Amino acid sequence: MKKGPTMAQDTTPAIGGSTPAELDEPRGWRHGATWLYLVMLVASAVALLISFILSAETLQMARNPNQALSCDVNAKLSCTTVAQAWQSEIVKFGEMSFPNAFFGIAAESVFVTIAVIGLARMRMPAWFATCTWLGGLAALAYSYWLTSQSLFVINALCPWCLVLCFATTVQFMALSHATVTVQGLPARARGLRKYYRLGFDLMVDAVWIVALVTLILVKDGAYLFTF
């Protein structure tokens, strides 16, 4: 029996002997483990330091409830006002509550450790890298929730919390970049690899940071420079 026509396969060699998937792979120091995990390490270390400072301030307030905290600048830039709000202690067990800063110490210690592992150029298991990214996303979401509560509900800003917000943002940016270009996840996300290879992340990250700064300045900019 005569077979029908079959579709011819494309045997045209790729440019330079590389496949389209290989051409989409980001290359260069900006996409490597050393740079990305170093940025993540610095951001995570800053966030960890801020968590320690906030924990110390919380303990100081517990000992001296009527004393203003050292990071109070004015009525709007006030760590005391934010620390006294229920949003700063969302985890409660009966009558016992735990300041969010304590959980920040635990979480950021993990991110610092992961950044050090990444600097050692270790390829993480896919499940571990995925859980790490989800943890970074959860940390970012919580940081933004608390910042939005400070801006629009509590109507006071904690200077240390603002630093923590930006540190968590940079941490997530570096972690997301490393998850795609170093850990190779998601496995078939050619679009994400091309996104980083073409440098679109630089534009998006810049707009992201500018949007955060603009939001804070528009809402409470007049109070940031009043001492």
Q: Mean pLDDT across the stretch 35-62?
A: 94
**180 in Cβ contact with 193 (< 8 Å):** yes
- For the whole model, what pTM was predicted? 0.86
What is the tens place of the pLDDT at every residue in 116-134?
999 999 889 999 999 999 9
Q: Mean pLDDT across the stretch 154-178?
A: 95
- CATH number for 28-63+73-87+100-220 (one of 1.20.1440, 1.10.10, 1.10.150, 1.10.287): it is 1.20.1440
Amino acid at 59: L
d(CA 103, CA 166): 18
d(CA 34, CA 24): 20
d(CA 100, CA 173): 22
Nearest to 37, CA basis, from 198, 144, 194, 175: 175
d(CA 128, CA 130): 5
